[in-house]
Amino acid sequence: MGKKPIRTVADFEAFFAAYNARNWDVLFQYVSDDCVWNASEQCVQGRQAMEAYWLGCHKAIKETLGAPQKVVFGEGMAYLQVPIIMEFLEDGTFFGQAYAKGSVIRFWCADAYTFAPDGTIKECRVYSKFD
Amino acid sequence: MLDEQWFKEYGEAFSRAKDKSAFFDRYYDPEVTFIHPFKGTFHGKDALVTFWNAGKNAGHAGIHEILHFRNVVAQADKVATELDIEWRCFEDTDYLGPRHKGDVFWGKCAAFYDLKDGKFIRVQLYLNLVAPHRAQPVHP
């Protein structure tokens, strides 16, 4: 599948929808082949590592992204905020805390995106906020 | 125009102001809402200046906080940026955990600023403490 640039809020919505559907082929249309995904201590690069990272970290969790909010585009960059819902399909841990099967946690993240010249995601840095 | 140089100067003004009252007046709307990921939500000058200040019983007791901005993006009345926060402890204290005099610790932030008449009316911070024991979310 060909690459797609992210230039609008609708593009981010499509990217998030692909994640929620675990449709990796569509999702990686928006991602450069050498993308660096930096979730702080965990930093991976490239589709294979990113996909393994998401699947590995989420084997006990169903994560659903809400609509991107407060989106700010700049030259080769964008920021947004996104609400997250995590449902534990089995006992698991998140941020060092144990959660029983059936637990649901909600929180917000901020993402900082840097784009490649073709408009695909070259790097993303994830920041979190817990209520 | 609120660009990276503007934020660098803003950060330097914040970092060198021992009492943040005059700093607040220069940059913040009196009705500002400031949302901190760990410390709560602050409304207005008194609450925010008390949180920022470093004296006894203030929000940053024993802490000198230094801001390092990068990747500033501005669009109309909205600004988003990343920043590294450097906390220098000049006495034993308890800020985001127990700290000893001489400690230096860091956080990595994303911040979203809304402006009204050229001053900040709403600020939302997201913060990753730089600590090896913390996992992070992994979503796109």
pLDDT tens, position by position, for chain A (131 residues)?
A: 799 999 999 999 999 999 999 999 999 999 999 999 998 667 899 999 999 888 887 778 889 999 999 999 999 999 999 999 999 999 988 777 889 999 999 989 999 999 999 999 999 999 986 65
The pLDDT assigned to A42 comes to 77
Reported ipTM: 0.89
- B99: which strand partners? B93
- What's the CATH class of domain B4-129? alpha beta
Question: In which residue are the tokens 């840097």 written?
Answer: A114
CA distance A57 to chain B (A): 8
User: In terms of pLDDT, which residue wins out, B133 or A122?
Assistant: A122
Cβ-contact A4, A30 below 8 angstroms: yes
The model's pTM is 0.89
Q: State whether A65 and B140 contact (CB < 8 Å).
A: yes
Looking at beta carbons, which residues of chain B come within 8 Å of A37? 138, 140
User: Per-domain residue ranges for chain B?
Assistant: 4-129
User: Which comes out higher in pLDDT, residue A16 or B57?
Assistant: A16
Q: Considering chain B, what is the average pLDDT of its residues?
A: 88
Residue A19: partners with Cβ closer than 8 Å, 6 or more residues away: A27, A65, B139, B140
Condensed to tens digits (0 to 9), the pLDDT of residues B71-126 reads 999 988 999 999 999 999 988 888 888 899 998 989 899 999 999 999 999 999 99
| Domain limits, chain A | 9-129
Nearest CB to B71 within list A39, A53, A112? A112
- Closest to A123 in 3D by CA, of A83, A77, A73: A77
pLDDT of residue A39: 80
pLDDT at B136: 44
Q: What pLDDT is stored for residue B135 in this prediction?
A: 40
Q: Does A12 touch chain B (CB under 8 A)?
A: no
Question: Which residues of chain B are within 8 Å of residue A72 when distances are taken between CB atoms?
Answer: 73-75, 78-80, 112
pLDDT at B139 over 70: no
Residue A38: name the closest of B49, B115, B130 by CA: B130
Q: Give helix then strand counts, H and E, for chain B.
A: 3, 8
Domain spanning A9-129, CATH class: alpha beta
pLDDT at B95: 85
